[in-house]
Amino acid sequence: DARVTQTPRHKVTEMGQEVTMRCQPILGHNTVFWYRQTMMQGLELLAYFRNRAPLDDSGMPKDRFSAEMPDATLATLKIQPSEPRDSAVYFCASGLAPGDSPLHFGNGTRLTVT
Amino acid sequence: DQQVKQNSPSLSVQEGRISILNCDYTNSMFDYFLWYKKYPAEGPTFLISISSIKDKNEDGRFTVFLNKSAKHLSLHIVPSQPGDSAVYFCAASELTGGGNKLTFGTGTQLKVEL
């Protein structure tokens, strides 16, 4: 059963440190998404790639967040410097576009910034 | 600007009864709607979807209804089971635009009691 894999599952870091979250999308999927789950906003979109090209990163704080896809099997989300307000669960999802097949989510990275 | 809204943060239902979860949207360009289910410490998993050309889609105990004129959809679970206790997210996308980016609501926590 194909799955989206995210690492690490948990990350605790101090304010000001760099954080890197990784995602391995499902093989063959051509779209990759980063979402952040917060209590107030639910699942908010941070970044969106199609065929490894960034299509939408308007939801991301540009000064500290960056998202990349070095190759088709790896997507990364970096925060530098991290702040306590970045504490949340970050989800990666992959899918196939165009078409109506649903997105598949990983189990998330729970980030705590102290 | 919340384009997809789930106004009930929580819902409690007795086992065997019907659960009805509601969702409203504001973007008239949305043409494909999905429900995801999320257990603690896991990623959201796809449950059921509906295209805007339909008004109902059924899959076992789960039925999604779409009222385009009211920009409203609902998820019916009948009969409800304790294992259905989870957070349910409503999501929407613009499929005709060729993309599969999902906009999510804030979620409804369903608790099915014995």
pLDDT at A88: 96
pLDDT at B85: 98
Contact A113, A86 (CB under 8 A): yes
Mean predicted lDDT score pLDDT of chain B: 95
The C-alpha atoms of residue B69 and residue B90 are separated, in whole angstroms, by 18
pLDDT bucket at A4, cuts 50 / 70 / 90? very high
Q: Among all chains, which residue has been given the structure tokens 């070095």? A: A70
On the question of pLDDT at A40 being above 80, the answer is no
The C-alpha atoms of residue B65 and residue B49 are separated, in whole angstroms, by 10
The C-alpha atoms of residue A39 and residue B50 are separated, in whole angstroms, by 26
With CA atoms as reference, report the closest residue to A93 among A8, A40, A30. Answer: A30
Closest residue in B to A57 (Cα–Cα) = B101
Q: Do A41 and B106 touch (CB under 8 A)?
A: yes
Region A21-25: mean pLDDT is 98
Region A96-102: mean pLDDT is 88
Instruction: Give the model confidence (pLDDT) of B14-27 as tens digits.
Output: 999 999 999 999 99
Give which of B2, B46, B49, B100 to mutate to test A binding, by max A Cβ within 10 Å.
Answer: B100
Instruction: Give the model confidence (pLDDT) of B54-107 as tens digits.
Output: 999 999 999 999 999 999 999 999 999 999 999 999 999 998 776 789 999 999
Q: Which residues of A touch B95 (CB under 8 A)?
A: 98-100
Q: Among all chains, which residue has been given the structure tokens 């060729």? A: B98
Contact A79, A14 (CB under 8 A): no
Q: Is A49 on the interface with B (CB under 8 A)?
A: no
pLDDT at A57: 86
What Cα–Cα distance (Å) separates residue B86 from each residue in A50, B36, B45?
A: 30, 10, 11
Q: Do A42 and B89 touch (CB under 8 A)?
A: yes
Type of residue found at A105: F
With CA atoms as reference, report the closest residue to B74 among B37, B8, B22, B110. Answer: B22
What Cα–Cα distance (Å) separates residue A30 from each residue in A10, A34, A52, B12?
A: 26, 14, 7, 39
On the question of pLDDT at A44 being above 80, the answer is yes
Q: How many CA atoms does the CB half-sphere of A8 hold within 13 Å?
A: 9
On the question of pLDDT at A41 being above 90, the answer is no
Please calculate the CA angle B19-B47-B96 and round it to the nearest 5 degrees: 120
List, as ranges, residues 23-42 from B with C-beta within 8 Å of A. Answer: 32, 34, 36, 41-42
Closest residue in A to B48 (Cα–Cα) = A102
pLDDT bucket at A14, cuts 50 / 70 / 90? very high
On the question of pLDDT at B6 being above 90, the answer is yes
Instruction: Give the model confidence (pLDDT) of A51-84 as tens digits.
Output: 999 998 888 988 999 999 999 999 999 999 999 9
Mean predicted lDDT score pLDDT of chain A: 94
